[in-house]
Amino acid sequence: MAAPMPGRCGFFVEKKKRFCKMIVARGKVFCGEHATMEGGVSRRIVCPLDPKHTVSEDKLDKHLKKCNSREKPKPVFYVENINAGSADGDDTLRQVRLGELSRSQLESLVEKLKAGVKGLQCDVEDNVLFHPVVQEELTNPKNGDSAHKHLKQQSSILGHLETRGLLGRGRCFIEFGAGRGKLSHWIHEALKTPDFLKSPDLLLTQGDLQMLLVERSSTRFKVDGKHQDPGVQFERLQVDIQHLDLGRVQMLQLKKLPLVGVGKHLCGAATDLALRCLLGAPRPKDGTEPPPKRLKTSEPESTDQMSESGALPGPGPGPGPGPVLGLAVALCCHHRCEWRHYVGQQFFLQQGLGAEEFSAFCRMSSWATCGLRPTNQEHRLQDTTNLRGDDEEHEPAEETDAVNSFLSSSEREKIGRLCKLLIDGGRLHFLQTRGFDGRLCRYVDTQVTLENMLLTAVPSSPS
């Protein structure tokens, strides 16, 4: 390109071998980013709040007062690290790197893993369910492969909510890691019955419906703002789950509807933070963690605690929002788990395992889904470099020569699955200590996603 396009910046971007395409002001040659090329223009510097953009040096003070990256007042429901685990030992805890381990150390880890999984009292079955409310969208030819995969997952999650008795009105669904809010959208669609729409008076019998969406980042193309049905209240909180105190959310305090936690692919530590947020966590002996929160499990003292919808509350809270009826969370990215936030620390310690083994198992868990590359010996048998079969983003699996020397790709995949199962076993143990019956199942086929494990829980029987 010999010259810039008309009305566009005249700065030549060497890296891209073309002129900048930004529109310039009338009478100007360069855009705002490259205005320093013109004489008499103030030098542009990197914004100290966000290095992703620049600002004129002489306008820095004015910019800092309105920059979108400036620190904003914290909402009332923000309580720093309320759902985080104890920070004791974090400074000395060294993250295990598989590349630094010898073959004998790796073999020892595998033996510890197999011994820990052997004692697990949980059966993981294939249980792919379906909900008819998604059928029309599944047959829509405008949806591509990626949209169909997400719809199948959402349909199965709805089916499991219904099977566990959690899909109904008169309760509040809290979607952790909501993103665009599609899971909440389909829960709302499933509970939008024709009879209810014809007669709003049925609010008295069917109960209200609340949808609380929790997402730490600003998200485009959200769908929750499109719902304006009577008796249904949508609210979105932009906050990290680590700092969310449900007891301070005004919407939950007003009607105290029973709570149902949901989530689709809560990556790594986000699952543990969501469990702590919903069910609370015990206070450590040193007192460094916040006290047990408003959703501490206990049996209801009387029938007066029944919700207006007639549903029996789960292990109930004290002051704060309503009781917890259950949860359904699609798990994901165990390699992003953190020992500090992990709710199954007690379970690991009972198995004779600690933080270092946990760190190693988290890294090894990625063998189950990320870039299952054959060893050199297996290249003769198969020419496959990626067996994932989905379009979700995952970090590449960490592999070493020591690993490849005694483990085939299929063995690595099996070990990765066992690592995930052991980590999830700690979560089941945590749910049991809180008075819940937790279950794991493969809720969709591996052709849809290799991260196909669903964690559900409802209150245990009074027995």
Per-residue model confidence as pLDDT tens digits over 217-263: 888 888 887 787 778 899 999 999 999 999 999 999 888 899 999 99
Q: Report whether pLDDT(339) > 90.
A: yes
Q: What is the pLDDT of residue 28?
A: 86
Check if the beta carbon of residue 456 is closer than 8 Å to that of residue 439.
yes
Largest CA-CA distance found in the chain, in angstroms, rounded: 82
Phi and psi of 398, rounded to 5°? -85, 120
The answer to whether residue 2 sits within a structural domain is no
Name the average pLDDT for the chain.
Answer: 81
Q: What is the pLDDT of residue 3?
A: 83
- Count helices and strands (H / E) in the chain: 13, 12
Burial 439-453 (b: 16+ CB within 10 A, else e): bbbebbeeebbbbbb
The C-alpha atoms of residue 437 and residue 297 are separated, in whole angstroms, by 13
The answer to whether residue 374 sits within a structural domain is no
Tell which wins on pLDDT, 157 or 322: 157
103 confidence band (pLDDT: 50, 70, 90)? confident
Check if the beta carbon of residue 411 is closer than 8 Å to that of residue 298.
no
Structure tokens at 163: 């099977």
Rg (CA), the chain: 26
92 confidence band (pLDDT: 50, 70, 90)? low
The answer to whether residue 48 sits within a structural domain is no
Structure tokens at 162: 């219904």
The answer to whether residue 219 sits within a structural domain is yes
The answer to whether residue 243 sits within a structural domain is yes
**Number of Cβ atoms within 10 Å of the Cβ of 139:** 9
Per-residue model confidence as pLDDT tens digits over 116-158: 998 787 788 999 999 999 999 999 999 999 999 999 999 999 9
Q: Report whether pLDDT(405) > 90.
A: no
73 DSSP 8-state letter = P
Check if the beta carbon of residue 280 is closer than 8 Å to that of residue 293.
yes
Phi and psi of 295, rounded to 5°? -105, 30
Q: Report whether pLDDT(204) > 90.
A: no
Q: How many domains does the chain have?
A: 1
Single out the residue of 169, 175, 171 nearest to residue 262, CA to CA: 175
Q: What is the pLDDT of residue 39?
A: 61
The answer to whether residue 207 sits within a structural domain is yes
The C-alpha atoms of residue 390 and residue 449 are separated, in whole angstroms, by 6
Portion of the chain with pLDDT greater than 70, in percent: 77
Burial 199-208 (b: 16+ CB within 10 A, else e): eeeebeebbb
The C-alpha atoms of residue 80 and residue 74 are separated, in whole angstroms, by 10
The answer to whether residue 36 sits within a structural domain is no
* Weakest mean pLDDT among 85-99, 259-273, 388-402: 388-402
Residue-number span of the structural domain to which 183 is assigned: 98-356+412-459
79 confidence band (pLDDT: 50, 70, 90)? very high
Q: Report whether pLDDT(290) > 60.
A: no
The C-alpha atoms of residue 151 and residue 382 are separated, in whole angstroms, by 32
Q: What is the pLDDT of residue 278?
A: 95
CATH number at residue 146: 3.40.50.150
C-alpha separations of 46 from 60, 63, 64 in Å: 10, 12, 12
Q: Report whether pLDDT(215) > 90.
A: yes
Check if the beta carbon of residue 82 is closer than 8 Å to that of residue 245.
yes
Q: Classify burial at 240, counting beta carbons within 10 Å of its beta carbon; exposed 0-12, middle 13-18, buried 19 or more.
A: middle
212 confidence band (pLDDT: 50, 70, 90)? very high
Per-residue model confidence as pLDDT tens digits over 15-60: 888 999 999 988 888 887 787 666 655 677 889 998 888 888 888 9
358 confidence band (pLDDT: 50, 70, 90)? very high
Instruction: Give every CB contact of residue 171 below 8 A, 6+ residues apart in sequence.
Output: 207, 209, 210, 257, 258, 259, 260, 307, 309, 311, 322, 325
99 confidence band (pLDDT: 50, 70, 90)? confident
Work out whether strand 436-442 and strand 125-126 pair parallel, antiparallel, or are unpaired: parallel
Q: Label each residue of 299-361 as H, E or C.
A: CCCCHHHCCCCCCCCCCCCCCCCCCEEEEEEEEECHHHCCCCCCCCHHHHHHCCCCHHHHHHH
* Weakest mean pLDDT among 82-96, 182-196, 220-234, 418-432: 82-96
Per-residue model confidence as pLDDT tens digits over 413-443: 999 999 999 999 999 999 999 999 999 999 9
The answer to whether residue 24 sits within a structural domain is no
Tell which wins on pLDDT, 346 or 3: 346
* Weakest mean pLDDT among 300-304, 318-322, 364-368: 300-304
Amino acid at 107: E
Q: What is the pLDDT of residue 311?
A: 39
Work out whether strand 44-46 and strand 54-56 pair parallel, antiparallel, or are unpaired: antiparallel
The C-alpha atoms of residue 264 and residue 18 are separated, in whole angstroms, by 42
